[in-house]
Structure formats: C-alpha cells, structure tokens
Amino acid sequence: MVKSSVLGYPRIGENREWKKALEAFWSGKLEESEFQRQLQEIRLNHLRKQQEKGIALIPVNDFSCYDHLLDTATMFGIVPKRFGHKGGVVPLSVYYGIARGTKEAAASEMTKWFNTNYHYIVPELDGASPYLTENKPLIAYREAKEKLGIEGKPVIVGPLTFLKLSKGYSLSETDAWLDRLLPLYVQIFQELAREGVEWVQIDEPILVTKLSEADVRRLKTIYKTFAESAPNLNIMLQTYFESVEHYRDIAALPVKGIGLDFVHGFSGNMSSIKALGFPEDKVLGAGVIDGRGIWKAPLREKLELIEELAEIVSPERLIVQSSCSLLHVPVTAGLETKLESELKEALAFADEKLDELVLLAKAFSRDETGITGELEQSEQAYETFKQSGKRKRSDIQHAVAALSDRHLERSSPFSERHIAQQKRWQLPVFPTTTIGSFPQTVEVRKARQLWRKGEWSHEKYAGFIRQQIDIWIKLQEELGLDVLVHGEFERTDMVEFFGEKLAGFAFTQNGWVQSYGSRCVKPPIIFGDVAFTGEMTVEETKYAQSRTKRPVKGMLTGPITIMNWSFVREDIPREQIAYQLAYALRQEVEALEHAGISMIQVDEPAVREGLPLKENEQAEYLAWAVKAFRMATCTVQDTTQIHTHMCYCEFHDMIDSIKAMDADVISIETSRSHGELIHSFELNTYKQGIGLGVYDIHSPRIPRVEEMTSMIERALHVLDPNLFWINPDCGLKTRGFEETVESLRNMVEATRIARTKQNIQTIK
C-alpha cells in the first residue's frame, strides 16, 4: 500500500495559540515552565490531528520555538559571541536574543526562506566552535512515541543547506566547516538509529538551486558519511520548491529515499525521472499535493500522476506527500464561515491537504473502491469554481492587454526630475523619513474591531483615525523628520487593506500563516480579475497633508508585492495578475496626485521573493515585474516623486532591474546585513535617490546614535551624499510607542551628526 506523509505542519495553531504563547512569554506574562507546557500541548495537538486523519509517516521536530534554522544553529552551539553564551544547552533567553536582539546585542540577520514569505534567522558561523548541545530530533521522536504512540519521522535541515544559508565564513572554509559539522550530524543519526527510528527526513532544498561541482562532491561526501555511520537508518533526502539540479548524482547517493516536488518542480523532476529512471533500491517521496497553495487539488489528475510514477517506481516504493512543509498555508478551512460557498468549497488548507493525501493513498491502493464519491465531490467543487463568472471580466482583460503592449516610462529622465523635485521641496541633505506605518497599538486595533463589528459608525472610526494622524504628524514634526507619513492606522495589513478595496479578492477569518517569529499574516485570496472600484488612500493622506507644511508621502503597496503576498488564482499566468494589479494601482496613484500629494511611495518589498529559483527563468520574471511597477507609476508629473521600498536582496544580481523600475527614491531593508549591501554598492553604481535602513525595526531594542552614525558613514563611502536618504529599514507597525519615538529621535540625531561631518549647511 502506498503510504502518505507530509514534510511539516503549521506551528501557529488553529487560533494562533503558538503566537499568543510566545508573545505572552516575551512580555513576562508567562513563566518559562508554563510556556513550555503550552508549547507541548500545541505540538501534541498537531501530531494527534495527523494521526487521527491517517497520515502514515508523521514528521516530528518540525515544530519550533521561533525558526527551524535557528533551532539547528543553537542545537550545534552556534551562538554569536555578543550574546555571551558560555556553553551547554542554549537557554531561551539567548535563543530569543539571537532572533529579536537584546539591549546589549543586535539580533542576527533575518531573510527569506528561498522564494517564500517565511523568514529564517541566518546562522553566524564566525568564531563558532560547534558541538551538540542536545539531540532535538531524538527528543521530538521520544515525545511523540511516549505521549501518542506515534512512530515519528524526525526532520532536520541538511548540512549542505545549513552551510549555504549561513554567513560568517569564506568559501575556502566550506570543507573545514563540513568537517566540524558532520560528526555532530553523525552523532544525532546514530542516537536515532539506536532508538529504533525507521525514517529520518533530511531537508536539502538547496539542491534545487544551481550547485558547483565542488558542492556536488561535498554532497557525495556528506551522504556517504551518513550511510556508513548509521547504516540501519532510512534517510529520506528531501528537496522542494523546484526540480533538483544534478539529478543523476543525487539519485546515486547512498540514501533510502529521495523526496521530489511534483508541483512546483513538476516539469524538471518528471523529465529527469522519465529520462534517467529512478533507482530500484530507493523510495520516492512524491510531492504531489501543493504545500504552498490553498486550492483543492484536482485529485483525478493527481491519481493519474501517481499512476504514471508507479510505472517507473513500484508502488511499494512510493510515498504520497506534500510538495513542501505545510508551514506556508493556513491551518484549516473549517473555521471559515463567511466565504461564499463556491469559493470555500474550492479551498484546501493544511488540514484539508492531509485529507487529500490520505484519500489519494487510499484511492491508488484500493483502486478507488469505496471512495469514488469523495473523489467526485472534490472534483465537482474544483470544476464549479473554475467556471465562476467573477473570474472572467472582459473589460479588465482588454484594458490591461492594451496597456501591457506599450512601452511604459516617465516623461523625463531622473536627472531632470530630481532638479524639479528638489526645487519644489527644498529638502535638506540626507532627508529623513520613515517607511510608512507607525505602531498599531491596542487602542488602534480595538477601534478597528469595534468599527468592523458595527459598534462604531464610519464617522466615529474616521474621526479616531484622524486623531491618530494628528498625534503622529505632530510627533514627526517635533522629532525633526523632513518627509512625513500619515501612519497607516486604518490598515490591518499592507496587502489586505488594498485587497479589501479592489474587486477580485476574498478574505478569510482565520487564514493565518507565519511570516517570521510570532508575526503572522493573513494573505488575501485573489480568485478573480482585479479591478479598481474607488479611491483607497486619498482621504487619510490628504487629511495628513492638510495638518503640516512638510511633504506627506502617499503610501501604496506595489503590484508584485500584493501578488506575492496573496494566495493567487492558478488559471491565468502570474504576469497577467501583476498587470491587473498595476492597472488598478495606477488609478490610485493618479487620484493621489490629483489630490495634491506629490510624494507617493509604492512599496515592493516582495520583488525578490518572487524571483524564480531557476536562473533561466529569472530574466523573464524581472522584466514583467519591472513593467508592472512602471505601469502603476509612469503617468505622474516630473515634480511628483515616486518612492519605493524593498527588502534586503543580493543587490548586485538585481541592480539592472531596480534601475529599470525608475523610482526617484528607493529605500532598502538592510540593517541586519548592512555591510554586505555596502559591498555590493562598491561593485555597482546607483545614481538615483536611495535610503539604506539605518536600524532594525524587527527587534525591540533601541539602536544607539553611534550605531546609526557608523552605518551612515559606511554608506556614504559609496553613495552620493546628494541622493542619500535616512530612514528605518522597514515600517514601524509592530513596534511599541516609546521605542519608536526613542529610535527615531536617535535616527534624527545621527543625521544631524552626519550633516555636520559632511560640513553641509542644512537647507531651512
């Protein structure tokens, strides 16, 4: 019989119990013992659910107190020296210090997990002497077996992926680091084998990216070492997010199983298996259910795929599984009571995907006997939704097609626009600003909740928002910021807010997914053609501008970010979705300009996130991503300054695309990896306005003036002072009031010092 499995399950809980426990512990409301008890309860509930649904191979050690890369690093005693850890098991105070920072030490860098919206903490290897602090996979295995009788499948990040995603060592040190880490992995696996563990899942998603010949050689060394050291342990070498590179070499590795993604890596992986076959001594983990999307699978098509694979790999050597961890989707669609039934019936969140996997395994093994009705019901819901009239608006499709065929550009080059904008605004050197949002306090969230429940009228809620704007306009002026923002108090989320005002979107009540740490987001669902239905941001922005003589930026989320941070339809290309969004946002940009707002920020923090993992597909994606941004912004006058914000990326490999966006000012989230980005500017020139985030907003610590002054000075070694802006590295929505004010006060003081050192008179 074909077995079912998943690669991981969401941590957050049906009602975000995990998030609430973390934040209560951080705020001192939970003692550590009670915190650990609550986490165990959540963890066991997740395992029990998979057990009851009939998943055959249940992952353990996929749960985390924050992040799985951080778990791996601390398991190996890899703790940056600034946190003062003296050895032994890493306590939670140090663990969370690495993730969030402390008063004394800055947090470690955080960046995107491949091409997803999940963020991991980057391990810092510099100066570390790794050792095994505790065998976390073994602890997780024992807990599942003793508490629930589950013969779990321990999950661990593989050594090649771990090294490739770490920092603080040179390429020449890679083999030396492998020599340090391999004995620790071996110890883990030997202890698992002695415990009687049958399968261990070693995640190596790095294998879907471009590898050097040296990396392939290392891969062979790694898995030869594991096979010789723990010969009785069945290793599932797990890949996901794309098709593997070097299939022939990977297929020859001495492992018991290989997991391949047959959703996002379908074409490449299927071609490799058909052309080169699959080893007869190995099990194939066939990732046939999408671990990243939220739509029901066409189960008969999936059965046909499994049958096709079974012609190459005998059924007893097949495991039907998710394409990746279910970490990237909400927990259950069962809690959604307000969605239209047609849409709800087409959804499959984590729990529904468990059902699909079990159903597919049964259908294949029993030749559909007794479950035909379930298959037909799923298929009917899928087909009914596909034919929905809301997904086919000819007016939008024709308008977007006409626009996307044009060459889209501003009326004048940046050099001319910059002169016109400076003449209009008379900004000082090193203008200071923020990225857009200010703290969403309990009071703000409560007001929004009362309004949504109908207990507050629209007029009362709008008045409350104006009060918040008044407070923060005054504060920004008092702090000495040069370009102000209205604060975004009316917005739940930078994507959800716009989706609620556009046609073609739907919203869940409980569709939360983890973004980083306890930060959860509730991505909108783009199910139909996107259309502008009316002004979205003009009222609040215009009001804020009326309260000050300093410029106030209009704040929009860009088309690529809205798309990448939503769950999107699958019946049309993503390029077309991006253009529909851009066309809608273009109308909002024009409305802001018409209302007298002449600085407009169109944020694109997720451009890098959507970059295909395969190099041969990246140029095409970047071309239409740039085109979408320009479609949204190119119609404004020369004196209207277009800003954008991007999260940290390897700047050198996107510099041409970023230039092509033709924004007047770009701000980049870089504070946790400032030095790396400065180095990239030494190799590339950027001749438009730019602000490198001078402090990390993801950490509650208040940065010192000296830290920010140092960052500014480093940046000015490679950037034009006349084009340099100073700002935090991201929005301030998640920060507290006091820390926000103090941090901005220090930022303004650092700017004053930088202006003095440059010996440039501030323009009054």
pLDDT of 528 reads 93
In tens, the pLDDT along 43-63 reads 999 999 999 999 999 999 999
Q: Which of 664, 668, 603, 667 is nearest to 634 (CA)?
A: 664
Residue 436 assigned ligand-binding role? yes
pLDDT of 141 reads 98
Report the first-to-last Cα separation within the chain, whole angstroms.
78
Decide: 120 and 92 in contact? Cβ < 8 Å. no
Lookup result for tokens 């000082």 = 428
In tens, the pLDDT along 316-356 reads 999 999 999 999 999 999 999 999 988 999 999 999 999 99
Alpha-helix runs per DSSP H in 453-558: 458-479, 496-499, 538-546
pLDDT of 545 reads 97
Percent of the chain with pLDDT over 90: 79
Q: How far is CA 705 from CA 99, 571, 690, 742, 743, in A?
A: 22, 51, 20, 10, 9
Q: What is the mean pLDDT of residues 381-410?
A: 81
pLDDT of 329 reads 98
Residue 565 assigned ligand-binding role? yes
In tens, the pLDDT along 156-179 reads 999 999 999 999 999 999 999 999
pLDDT of 750 reads 94
How far is the C-alpha of 147 from the C-alpha of 485, rounded, in Å? 52
- The 10 Å CB-count burial string (b at 16+, else e) for 601-627 is bbbbbbbbbbbebeeeeeeebbebbbb
Q: What is the mean pLDDT of residues 527-536?
A: 95
674 is catalytic: no
Residue 741 or 389, more confident: 741
Q: Which of 119, 264, 486, 698 is catalytic?
A: 698
In tens, the pLDDT along 494-520 reads 899 999 999 999 999 999 999 999 999
Residue 258 or 729, more confident: 258
How far is the C-alpha of 250 from the C-alpha of 278, rounded, in Å? 11
In tens, the pLDDT along 418-459 reads 999 999 999 999 999 999 899 998 999 999 999 999 999 999
3-state secondary structure of 11: coil
Decide: 40 and 302 in contact? Cβ < 8 Å. no
Residue 435 assigned ligand-binding role? yes
Tokens of 702: 């208040």
Residue 296 assigned ligand-binding role? no
Residue 592 host element (H or E): helix 574-594
Domains of the chain (ranges plus CATH)? Answer: 394-406+414-757 (3.20.20.210)
Q: What is the mean pLDDT of residues 471-499?
A: 94
Which pTM value belongs to this model?
0.90
Q: What is the mean pLDDT of residues 675-700?
A: 75
Lowest mean pLDDT among 20-24, 347-351, 383-387: 383-387
Residue 45 assigned ligand-binding role? no
Question: Is the pLDDT reported for residue 675 higher than 60?
Answer: no
Q: Which of 497, 600, 493 is nearest to 542 (CA)?
A: 600
How far is the C-alpha of 760 from the C-alpha of 724, rounded, in Å? 13
Mean of all residue pLDDT scores within the chain: 92
Task: Band the pLDDT of 580: cuts 50, 70, 90.
Answer: very high
Q: What percent helix, strand, coil does the chain show, rounded to 5?
A: 50, 15, 40
pLDDT of 671 reads 58
In tens, the pLDDT along 584-599 reads 999 999 999 999 999 9
Lookup result for tokens 């109308």 = 587
Report the amino acid identity of residue 691. G
What is the greatest pairwise CA distance in the chain? 82
- The 10 Å CB-count burial string (b at 16+, else e) for 540-578 is bbbbbbebeebbbbbbbbbbbbbbbbbbbbeeeebbbbb
Percent of the chain with pLDDT over 70: 96
pLDDT of 763 reads 43
Report the amino acid identity of residue 452. R
Name the DSSP class of 482.
S
Question: Is the pLDDT reported for residue 762 higher than 50?
Answer: no
DSSP per-residue letters across 115-152: TSS-EEEPPB-TT-----S--HHHHHHHHHHHHH----
pLDDT of 764 reads 40
Residue 17 assigned ligand-binding role? yes
Tokens of 403: 């626009």
Report the amino acid identity of residue 461. Y
Lookup result for tokens 């003081």 = 749
Residue 669 assigned ligand-binding role? yes
Task: Band the pLDDT of 635: cuts 50, 70, 90.
Answer: very high
Residue 519 assigned ligand-binding role? yes
Residue 603 assigned ligand-binding role? yes
Lookup result for tokens 């492998």 = 178
How far is the C-alpha of 491 from the C-alpha of 497, rounded, in Å? 5
In tens, the pLDDT along 96-116 reads 999 999 988 989 999 889 999
Residue 53 assigned ligand-binding role? no
Residue 16 assigned ligand-binding role? yes
Q: Which of 532, 626, 623, 630 is nearest to 581 (CA)?
A: 532
- The 10 Å CB-count burial string (b at 16+, else e) for 192-214 is bbeeebebbbbbbbbbbbebeee
pLDDT of 138 reads 98
Q: What is the mean pLDDT of residues 75-79?
A: 98
Q: What is the mean pLDDT of residues 3-29?
A: 97
Q: What is the mean pLDDT of residues 387-396?
A: 78
- Cβ count near 316 (within 10 Å): 10
Residue 356 assigned ligand-binding role? no
DSSP-derived pairing of the beta strands 665-669 and 689-692: parallel
Lookup result for tokens 């740039």 = 626
